[in-house]
Amino acid sequence: MKAHIRAHNGAPTLFLDGKPIYANLQWIGGFNLQDPQSVELTQAAMRAFAKAGVHIYTLDGLSNDWCGPRPDNPSPYDFSENAARLQKAIDADPEALFNLRLMFETHHLLDNWWNKAHPEEGEVLSEGEARSASYASTVWHRDSKALLTALIANLRETGMYDRVIGYQICTGVCGEWIKSWSSMDPANADFGAPMQRYFREWLTKRYGSDAGLQAAWNQPEARLATAAVPSSADQDTPGHYHFRDPNSERHVIDYYEALGELCADTLLDYCRHVKELTGGDKLTGAFYGYLMELSWNDAFFVDGHMGSGAVGLAAGEAATIQRSGHLGLAKALRSPDIDFFVSPYTYGFRGLGGDGLAMQPSESLRLHNKLYWFEEDTLMHNNFDPRKRMHPVKLSPAIYKRNFAEVLTHAQGITWLENDYFQEDPSIVDEFHALQARFHQIGNWAVRFDRRPSAEVAVFLDDESYRYEANKNTLSLPLIWHQRLMNLNRFGAPHDLYLLNDLLEGRLPEYKLYIFLNIFHLNNDRRAALKAQLRRAGKTGLFLYAPGYINQDDAAAPHSRDHMTDLTGFTFGLGKSYWTPQMHVTNFDHAITRDVSQELFWGTNRMIAPIFHLEDDDATILGNVIYALGRNQPGLGVKTFNAGTPEAWNSVYCATPNIPSPVLRGVARFAGVHLYNEDGDVLYATPRFLAAHTVKGGPRTFKLPAPAEVVYDLYNRQALGANTAEFCTQLPPASTALFYTGPAAALRALEGGPAEVTA
């Protein structure tokens, strides 16, 4: 079986032996051959998915196979059970195909054998402990690539090679390229010899000479031969409030860039190796690029982690973003050697009223023709608590429908979890499997449609700015995590999510509203590129908190309000005390704020600084920011530039993060964005599909951007309208609806029959 990801109808699409299909998988984990009852439970789940039409399975491709040399066998491999495990899956589904998850993390190996054999190759923490191989260890790279070679050879020898369509490269905790002990906890890394060597080699490539390094780091004593990974104190202590100072902290900024590049290069080397061993006819991918998500840490996942005192508080403030190596995503996206990226859907708000969001910037993946596989692991996390962690079991169908709707409207693939250990609740198991059949049917049918990004709103994350930010979650939690979980998804129009550099490189379609979450650092070239993209054709830019505040090209004043003025067109004041800024509306006569309640306040309860306000007599002030010294200063404003010319554009600034959906709705309306409805439901939309996930329910009126020949409820199989741009329906409380809005002929291909409807 040959497998490829190719562009098809505007989206990355799974092709098997040249045929495009919906990338729908079941995650079955692994088979414990010593436990027949466990095997049978997983096989029973597989048979249900196979009956629904799903025949691709994600499972662990390595169990204890990387066992290390034994007294009676010098080989470090034992593949004796590998074919037997795969055969158990084939016994359940004779059409079974596999995506193998391959764990190369040495921390989990039997008896810690690899780390004991290679103590000099470890990742060393700031406390001096080494728990696993360093990302920079060339010995680990050599040994794990040899393991990969041996595994693929074994698959050929046992007749299983053609069953495998993909190889998912895993390391770190849970295989997600995150070492929790060195990035999810307060401890920093990597102070071991392999990383020190790598960092010096990286610096030599970057700067070329001692003089170049000294100038960049502003350290006359710096030498390429002795330059070191920044100390834990330097990593933990930014020089300018929550931001790095490019003049004095370039060594920290460089290290985080080098770490991201190392992880991307290592991942891509594995992927390239698979491509070489398989003639380019198998898929490669990884859990990688979680840039929308990594504000969390071990305190988020482990209740009471590190106690109730100061250490526990520090654990809760640690951010995983910079120290995980995921900042290499942009490089990985530009490589032909990797085909897909995977993540669990966001952990932040999974329950009723929440959202099923990729941890990666989803449209950047689509732009670079990389398939995103949404890992639907609700069963795992909901079952961790006896009373259910996220929602009662009776609400699971609404959650499953929401998550499928998100995948369908974003041209993604999905991996559903059900196996011996994570079993669906008996009260809904039949409904769950019936839903799987319907999801699979709709997913394969939808591959025929134009699936290019079609929103009028684009949201941007800047991965480069993360390197200029503290390794704490003080800013990223409210600016990124909470903003997208609570508000970006429910203002009444869909949005597309990108890395900023995709816009600056001129790769994107046109949008009406551009929302910039964290564009703290822009050098001269990047800010010029952003102006060229935004300042034209009546576009509107929404800037949050500190846009463009840092410019490393301005050595005399790398942090400056003038940089923000240059980018946004506003003039600013600044408060220097740490405080918790809050915003409220003061002007209700503008299109942005006319429907906003005067009771609405928003901001963050995290202590941040500096805090900015507007000092601009030419701006239309819409709201005030309340912060230290009792200040109540303009903090929400709008300006229009070059009205009536081709260079016309609008600038909107908000001094606080986590703008609520009523305000976002007003900004979208001001920008000319089509609003499908204004009821605050989680909403997804494309030219052919519209979905709403609701807590309250009730009567709804949806307005389409253009008339549809048919409006059809895909979950309830009910026609709702014909030749209309507006339709009404009743949404039950705690439910998800998915509508088709398009030609009747296409619907007949799904449902059969005439699909005749009346208004």
Mean pLDDT to the nearest integer, 392-412:
97
Lateral strand order in the sheet of 11-16: 3-8, 11-16, 19-21
Q: Nearest-CA neighbor of 283 among 366, 343, 339?
A: 339
Mean pLDDT to the nearest integer, 632-655:
98
pLDDT at 410 over 80: yes
384: Cβ–Cβ under 8 A, 6 or more apart, which residues?
A: none
Q: Which two tokens stand for residue 493?
A: 């129009």
Confidence band of 757 (pLDDT split at 50, 70, 90):
very low
Amino acid 63: pLDDT: 86
Count of C-beta atoms within a 10 Å radius of residue 64: 11
- Sign (positive or negative) of CA dihedral 367, 100, 422, 172: negative
52: Cβ–Cβ under 8 A, 6 or more apart, which residues?
A: 433, 436, 437, 439, 440
pLDDT at 464 over 60: yes
Mean pLDDT to the nearest integer, 313-342:
97
In whole angstroms, what is the distance from residue 141 CA to residue 122 CA?
Answer: 12
Tell me the per-residue pLDDT of 675-730, one tens digit each, with 9 for 90 and over.
999 999 999 999 999 999 999 999 999 999 999 999 999 999 999 999 999 999 99
Instruction: Burial-class residue 571 by CB neighbours within 10 Å (0-12, 13-18, 19+).
Output: middle
Instruction: Burial-class residue 384 by CB neighbours within 10 Å (0-12, 13-18, 19+).
Output: exposed
Count of C-beta atoms within a 10 Å radius of residue 599: 7
Buried b (16+ CB within 10 A) or exposed e, 237-247: ebebbbbbbbb
Amino acid 756: pLDDT: 45
Terminal alpha carbon distance of the chain: 47
Q: Which two tokens stand for residue 198?
A: 């790598």
pLDDT at 754 over 80: no
Quote helix, strand, coil % in the chain, to nearest 5: 35, 25, 40
One DSSP character per residue, 389-429 reads SSS-GGGHHHHHHHHHHHHHHTT-EEEEE-SSSS---TTTH
Tell me the per-residue pLDDT of 537-596, one tens digit each, with 9 for 90 and over.
999 999 999 999 999 999 999 999 999 999 999 999 999 999 999 999 999 999 999 999
Cα-atom radius of gyration of the chain, to the nearest Å? 26
Count of C-beta atoms within a 10 Å radius of residue 70: 11
pLDDT at 384 over 90: no
Q: Nearest-CA neighbor of 97 among 274, 339, 375, 283?
A: 283
At residue 64, what are phi and psi to the nearest 5 degrees?
-105, 25
Confidence band of 515 (pLDDT split at 50, 70, 90):
very high
- Which residue in the block uniquely carries the two structure tokens 């601009």? 616
Share of residues in the chain with pLDDT > 90 (%): 97
The SS3 assignment for 25 reads strand
In whole angstroms, what is the distance from residue 353 CA to residue 485 CA?
Answer: 10
* Residues in a beta bridge with 376: 416
> In three state form, how does the secondary structure of 30-82 look?
CCCCCCHHHHHHHHHHHHHHHHCCCCEEEEECCCCCECCCECCECCCECCCCH
Question: Treating both helix axes as pointing N-terminal to C-terminal, what angle do 744-751 and 429-446 enclose, rounded to 10 degrees?
Answer: 140
* Residues in a beta bridge with 497: 459
C-alpha angle 482/177/184, rounded to 5°?
A: 50
Q: Nearest-CA neighbor of 545 among 609, 627, 622, 600?
A: 609
35: Cβ–Cβ under 8 A, 6 or more apart, which residues?
A: none
Mean pLDDT to the nearest integer, 52-60:
97
Tell me the per-residue pLDDT of 129-167, one tens digit each, with 9 for 90 and over.
899 999 999 999 999 999 999 999 999 999 999 999 999
Cis peptide before 190 (omega within 30 of 0): yes
> In three state form, how does the secondary structure of 168-197 look?
EEECEHHHCCECHHHHCCCCCCCCCHHHHH
Tell me the per-residue pLDDT of 475-506, one tens digit each, with 9 for 90 and over.
999 999 999 999 999 999 999 999 999 999 99
245: Cβ–Cβ under 8 A, 6 or more apart, which residues?
A: 238, 239, 558, 559
In whole angstroms, what is the distance from residue 667 CA to residue 591 CA?
Answer: 8
The SS3 assignment for 28 reads strand
Count of C-beta atoms within a 10 Å radius of residue 281: 12
Tell me the per-residue pLDDT of 616-629, one tens digit each, with 9 for 90 and over.
999 999 999 999 99
Q: Nearest-CA neighbor of 635 among 540, 591, 570?
A: 570
At residue 144, what are phi and psi to the nearest 5 degrees?
-75, -35
Query: In whole angstroms, what separates CA 320 from the centre of its chain?
Result: 13
630: Cβ–Cβ under 8 A, 6 or more apart, which residues?
A: none
Q: Which two tokens stand for residue 700?
A: 């709804």
In whole angstroms, what is the distance from residue 155 CA to residue 161 CA?
Answer: 5
Count of C-beta atoms within a 10 Å radius of residue 600: 14
Confidence band of 753 (pLDDT split at 50, 70, 90):
low
Confidence band of 33 (pLDDT split at 50, 70, 90):
very high
Amino acid 382: pLDDT: 87
Residues in the chain, total = 759
In whole angstroms, what is the distance from residue 112 CA to residue 648 CA?
Answer: 63
At residue 157, what are phi and psi to the nearest 5 degrees?
-65, -35
Query: In whole angstroms, what separates CA 282 from the centre of its chain?
Result: 24
Mean pLDDT to the nearest integer, 20-30:
96
* Residues in a beta bridge with 719: 712
Q: Which two tokens stand for residue 113?
A: 């054998």
Q: Nearest-CA neighbor of 454 among 510, 376, 404, 505?
A: 510
Mean pLDDT to the nearest integer, 739-752:
96
One DSSP character per residue, 577-639 reads S-B--EEEE---SSTTTTT--TT-EEE-SS-BSSEEEE--TTSEEEEEEE-GGG-EEEEEEEE
